[in-house]
Amino acid sequence: MTSQAPSPATTVTIRRGAYRDSVALMRVSREVSALDGVDAALVAMATELNLELLAQMGGSVPEGTGPNDLLIAVRATGGETTAAALERADAELAAMSTGGGGGGGGAEAPARTLRTAAARAARDGAPASLALVSVPGRYAAAEAFEALEAGLDVLVFSDNVPVEHEIALKDRAAGLGRLVMGPDCGTAVVGGAGLGFANTVRPGPVGIVAASGTGAQQLVCLLDAAGVGVGHCLGVGGRDLSSAVAGRSTRQALRLLDADPATERIVLVSKPPAPEVAEAVRAEAAALATPVHLVMLGGETDLSAAAAEVVTALGGPAPRWPSWSPAAAPSPRAGALRGLFCGGTLADEAMLIASAALGPIASNIPLRPGDAAWTLPADLRHDGHLVIDFGDDTLTSGRPHPMIDPSAREERLRAELADPAAGVVLLDVVLGHGAHPDPAAGVAAALTGSGSAVPVVVTLCGSSGDPQGLEAQAAALASAGAEVYLSNAEATRRALDLLKRP
Amino acid sequence: MSGEPTLLTADPSVVSVGAGLFADALAAQAVPVAPVDFAPPLGDGALDDALVRVLADPRRTAANATAVERVLAVRPQLVDVRPAGEALGLEPGTFYHAGPPVDWERASGPLRGALIGAMVFEGMAATPEEAERALASGAARLDPCHHHSAVGPMAGVISPSMWVFELVDEATGRRAWCSLNEGLGKVLRYGAYGPEVIERLRWMSAVLGPMLRDAVRAVGPLDIGAVVAQMLQMGDEGHNRNRSGTLMLLRDLLPAIITSGAPSDDVAEAVRFVSGNDHFFLNLVMPAAKLMMDAGRDVPGSSLVVAMARNGTDFGIQVSGTGDTWFTAPAELPQGLFLGSYGPEDANPDIGDSAITETCGIGGFAMATAPAIVRFVGGDVEFALATSRSMYEITLAENPAFQLPVLDFRGAPTGIDVTRVVRTGILPQINTGMAGRVAGTGQVGAGLVNPPEACFTQALAALAQAAPELPGA
C-alpha cells in the first residue's frame, strides 16, 4: 500500500463531425465538472480557443482534429471516476438531442400513432403499460404490431381480424416476450383496470385466462358474489384455442399468472377448444406451480359449477347464487324457448343446458354447425326453440355491439313477447364498464308495455361494484315482471321449468 | 425491444386506439389513457394483408435499425470539385437528369429546356431549335443522376463539361456528386436555355469551377455534415433556405480563394456570385444527403425510403429492401407562391432530386427550424411546427447530429418508413421551387408538395412480395 496520493490525469476523446451548440456544451461541461473526483472537464468543439483551454488542462488532441469535431476531456483521479465522468458526458450529450417534444409553442397535434401516444404518456409521467386496440378488424393487426414494437402488451378488442394476422401477431409477441389479448377480446382486468367490457371486482387471489368474454364476466361476477376477488383476468380471444392459433396467447397468459406471486389459483375458461389444443394446454397447465381449473364448456361442467368449485377450493362455503323475483310468479306455458343474448358464451352455455332437455335448438351460433335442425336461417326466423347471439360477428358488422346498443335485441324481445308460439324468453343483461349505462331500462320497458303472458327469465351478469348498480338493475327488471338470476345456468334451468312440455 | 413482463406489476396506463368509449371507460376508473387519432391506412382496404405481411416480416426491425444506423454513421466531406466527365465518367452525348428514368417523349417542359441548353452548352447543337430536333430524334442518351451516385436540383441535368462537387464518406469510401448551383431566375435547372444561361454555365466551368477546386484542395476536406448541423441552428432547413450554409462555405474557402493567385476580378466575381445566391449550398446539402441515404440501400427486409426524386413528369421513390426499383406515379403540382405575374397555370409538376433532403430528414421535415421560410412557401409558423412534428410519425429515427432548437433540440425526423406512411396516411412534406411548364421559362415560384400516395402503396406491395408469407395463410 502506498501512502502517496494518486495524481489526477487528463483523458481526451474526440467525436469527429459531431457539431453541438457551444452554449449547450458549456452546460454539459459544468455538469461533468461537478462530479465528485473530477478536477476539470471540457466538453466543447475543438476550436483553437478550446484547444488552448485543453492544453491548460494538460490534454492534447490527435493531428487533424478541427473545429467541427467534438472533444470530451476529463481530468480526474482514478479510472473509475474518469469512466463515470465520460459516461455522464455521453448521457448529457444524448439528452441534448432527444428533445422533450416541447418547445415551439403552438398546440400539440393529437398523436397519430401508438408509439407517439406512448412517448407522450411517458413524458407526462404515466408510462404506458398496455395498448387497447378497437379499430375495425382489418386494420387492427397493424396497430397491434406498432404497440408490440413500442414495448407494450396489447389488448385487441376488434373482431373480424383475419386469423393469419392473429397468428403473425402472436408470434411476434412471443418473440418480444409480450402478451396479445384478443383479437375479439371483449374483457380483461389488469392491475385493477377493467378493459373493454369489464365488471368491477374486488382484488383477490384468482387469476383468469379467458378465451371467452362473457364466460369470463360470468365467472368474475359469480366469484365476486361469493366474496372471492380476482387479481387479473387476461383475455386471449375466442379463437386462441382453435387448431390454427393453437393456444399461443393462452400459454403465455398461463405463464404470466403462474409467475405472479399474488395469484393463488388460475381459472382457464373457454368455449369448446380444438381437442389437440385442449390437450396441449392441459399439459402446460399441469406443469405450472399454481393450481389451474380448466373450464372448457361443452363437457360436463357449467360456469356456475366451476365458480363454486373455485370458491370451495379456496376454503369458502358452497355458494348460493343470488336471484330476484317479481311480485307475481309467472305461470308456465306451452311453447318454444326463445333465447336472446348479447354474450356469446352465455348463449352457448344456455344452449348446452337447454338442449339436453329440449333437443335441437336453432341458433346463429349453432352447437352443431352445418346441421340444419340446429341452424337459424339468415333472417333469424324459426317456429321452434331458438337462441340468438346478437353479439356475433355477423350481426355486429357495421353496428355497435348489443351491450352498447341493445336496440336490435329489444326489438326482437318485443316480437317474441307478442309471438303466441313463444313459451319462455331467456335473455342476458350484462353490466360493467363499457356496457350501456342502463341496459335494464330497455328490457323493462319492453316487458311493461307488452301485456304478454310469456314468462321472461334474465341472467343479470354484473357485480356489486359495477357503475350501473347491480341491485338497481335487478330491481328494475323484477318490477317489470322478469325473474332475475346472477347465474346463467340457474336462469336457464328456471326457463326450462317454466316451459310446459307436451 | 424484448422486455421484462410488466403487465401484471406496472400501474395500468393505457394507450387507446379506436372506439372512444373504452378510453372513456378507463378514464372513469382513473386509469391514465393516451388516445390515438386513428385514420385507416392508405389503399382503401386493399393493402391490409400486404401491410401485415410486411409488419410481420421477421427481418424488418433489425433491417431498419441497420439501414438507419448506416445512414446516421455517414460523415459527408467535400474533397474535390471536378468536371462531370472526369468525376463521373460521363461521356459526351449522355446527360444525367433528375428523378426516375424518363425519355424525351415523356419529358416535361423544364427538363426538355435544360436538355436543350445542355446540348448547346456542350457544343452538340448550334441553336436551341437544332438541339430540340436532335433530342427528339434520339441523339442523346438520358439516365437518372440517382443511378450514378449523383443528384441534381430541379431538372438536374448534368453534362460532361459541367463541374460537380465531389463528396466522400471516409469510413466507407462511398462517394456522391452534385452540379454547382447557378443561382435563381432564368437558369438551366429551371428549364431556361437562353444565351445568358449558356454564358453563365461557360463562366462556371471556366472560372468558378477551377477556383473552387483549388480552394477545396487547399483547405479540404470540408465537413459538410457539420455545416448542415449548424445551418439547422441558424434558420436554414437545407432545401429552400441555405443562406447560412452558403456563407459558412464561403467563410471556409475565402482565404484559399484570395491567396490562390487568381485575378482579383475573377475572385470578386466568384465571391459576388456565390454570396449573392442563397441556394449555392443546396448543391452541397443534396450530395451530403445522397451520401447518407445511399448508405441505407440494399438491406433486405428494410422499409426505409432511400430516395425520393422527380423528373417533372413522374415522382419516384426507392426503398432499401427493394433494390433499385422505382415506384412511380404522376408528379403533383406544388401549392405555393408565384413570382411576378406567374400563376398556377404556368407551373410544371414537381421536379428535381432535391427531395433527397427530405429523404434524409431535413428540408420540409425540418421546417420548424426555418420560420423565416414559411411565408415563401405559402405556410405559417404554426404550420412549420406542426409539419416537423408530424414527420416524426412516419420516420424511423431522430438524427442526433441534426437538431431543431425550436423543438427543444430534438433530432431531425429521419428515415421515412414505407409502412408508417401507409399506416398513417401522413405523406412526407417537401419544400420545393416551381419551374415553368414551358421549356425556357425558368423559375415561376416556390411552395409545398407531397409525393403521390401511389409511390408508397406500390412500394408496400413490393415489400410484401419480398417478405415471407404469413403463417397459416
Grid cell for residue B247: 456563407
**Residue B45, in any domain of the structure:** no
In the structure, how many helices (H) and strands (E) does chain A have?
16, 21
Q: Which residues in chain A are contacts of B39 at CB distance < 8 A?
A: 112
Determine, for residues A108 and B389 on separate chains, whether the beta-carbon distance falls below 8 Å: yes
Highest CATH level, class, for A188-194+201-320: alpha beta
Report the distance separating Cα A466 and Cα B39, nearest Å. 33
Whether B274 and B412 share a structural domain: no
Hey, which CATH number is domain A323-500, 3.40.50.720, 3.40.630.30, 3.40.50.261, 3.40.50.2000? 3.40.50.261
Q: Which residues in chain B are contacts of A194 at CB distance < 8 A?
A: 25-26, 29
The 8-class DSSP code of residue A419 comes to: -
Q: What is the CA radius of gyration of chain B?
A: 23
Q: Note if the pTM is more than 0.80.
A: yes
Q: Which residues in chain A are contacts of B40 at CB distance < 8 A?
A: 135-136, 139
Determine, for residues B225 and A17 on separate chains, whether the beta-carbon distance falls below 8 Å: yes
Q: Which residues in chain A are contacts of B411 at CB distance < 8 A?
A: 97-99
**Residue B5, in any domain of the structure:** no
pLDDT tens, N- to C-terminus, chain A (502 residues): 444 556 788 889 888 777 777 667 777 877 888 888 888 888 888 888 788 878 888 888 888 888 778 889 999 888 889 999 999 988 888 877 665 555 555 667 889 999 999 999 998 888 999 999 999 899 999 999 999 999 999 999 988 899 999 999 999 999 999 999 989 888 899 988 899 889 998 999 999 999 878 999 999 999 999 999 999 999 999 899 999 999 999 999 999 999 999 999 999 998 888 899 999 999 999 999 999 999 988 877 899 999 999 999 999 999 999 999 999 989 999 999 999 999 999 999 999 999 999 999 999 999 999 999 999 999 999 999 999 999 988 888 777 889 989 999 999 999 999 999 999 999 999 999 989 999 999 999 999 988 899 999 999 999 999 999 999 999 999 999 999 999 999 999 999 999 976 5
Cβ distance B197 to B318 under 8 Å?
no
In the predicted model, what is the mean pLDDT of chain B?
A: 94
**Residue B54, in any domain of the structure:** no
Report the distance separating Cα A473 and Cα A428, nearest Å. 12
What is the distance in angstroms between the Cα of A338 and the nearest Cα belonging to chain B? Answer: 31
Q: Which residues in chain B are contacts of A192 at CB distance < 8 A?
A: 12, 29
Determine, for residues B55 and A260 on separate chains, whether the beta-carbon distance falls below 8 Å: no
**Residue B344, in any domain of the structure:** yes
Nearest to A264 by CA among A229, A295, A316, A303: A229
Highest CATH level, class, for A114-175: alpha beta
Determine, for residues A129 and B10 on separate chains, whether the beta-carbon distance falls below 8 Å: yes
**Residue B173, in any domain of the structure:** yes
| Phi–psi pair at A266, nearest 5 degrees | -115, 135
Indicate the domain borders of chain A. Answer: 9-96, 114-175, 188-194+201-320, 323-500
Write the CATH number of the domain with boundaries A9-96.
Answer: 3.30.70
What is the distance in angstroms between the Cα of A133 and the nearest Cα belonging to chain B? Answer: 5
Q: Which residues in chain B are contacts of A158 at CB distance < 8 A?
A: 18
CB of A334 within 8 Å of a chain B CB? The answer is: no
Q: Which residues in chain B are contacts of A253 at CB distance < 8 A?
A: none
CB of A97 within 8 Å of a chain B CB? The answer is: yes
Determine, for residues B393 and A113 on separate chains, whether the beta-carbon distance falls below 8 Å: yes
Quote ipTM for the complex: 0.90
Burial A468-495 (b: 16+ CB within 10 A, else e): bbbeebbebbbebbbbbbbbbbbbbbbb
Whether B263 and B317 share a structural domain: no
Report the distance separating Cα A32 and Cα A85, nearest Å. 6
Residues 6+ apart with CB under 8 A from B56: A145, A168, A169, A171, A172, B467, B468, B470
What is the distance in angstroms between the Cα of A425 and the nearest Cα belonging to chain B? Answer: 30
What residue numbers bound the domain in which B310 lies?
A: 60-71+297-466
Whether B220 and B324 share a structural domain: no
**Residue B2, in any domain of the structure:** no
Question: One fold for both A188-194+201-320 and A323-500?
Answer: yes
What is the domain count for chain B? 3
Determine, for residues A196 and B386 on separate chains, whether the beta-carbon distance falls below 8 Å: no
Q: Which residues in chain B are contacts of A112 at CB distance < 8 A?
A: 36-39, 390, 393, 424, 426
Q: Of A157, A244, A256, which has the smallest distance from its Cβ to B8's Cβ?
A: A256
Q: Which of B286, B320, B352 is the endpoint of a domain?
A: B286
Determine, for residues B472 and A196 on separate chains, whether the beta-carbon distance falls below 8 Å: no
Q: Return residues 49-68 of A near B (CB < 8 Å).
A: 66, 68
Determine, for residues A130 and B12 on separate chains, whether the beta-carbon distance falls below 8 Å: yes
**Residue B396, in any domain of the structure:** yes
Report the distance separating Cα B183 and Cα B194, nearest Å. 15
**Residue B48, in any domain of the structure:** no
Q: Which residues, listed in sequence order, are joined to residue A433 by a DSSP beta bridge?
A: A198
Compute the residue count for chain A.
Answer: 502
**Domain harbouring B277, CATH code:** 3.90.1710.10
Q: Is the pLDDT of residue B3 over 80?
A: no
3-class SS at B466?
A: helix
Q: Of B1, B15, B45, which has the smallest distance from its Cβ to A138's Cβ?
A: B45
Nearest to A74 by CA among A95, A92, A62, A88: A88
| pLDDT tens readout for residues B339-367 | 878 888 999 999 999 999 999 999 999 99
Q: Of A109, A132, A147, which has the smallest distance from its Cβ to B390's Cβ?
A: A109
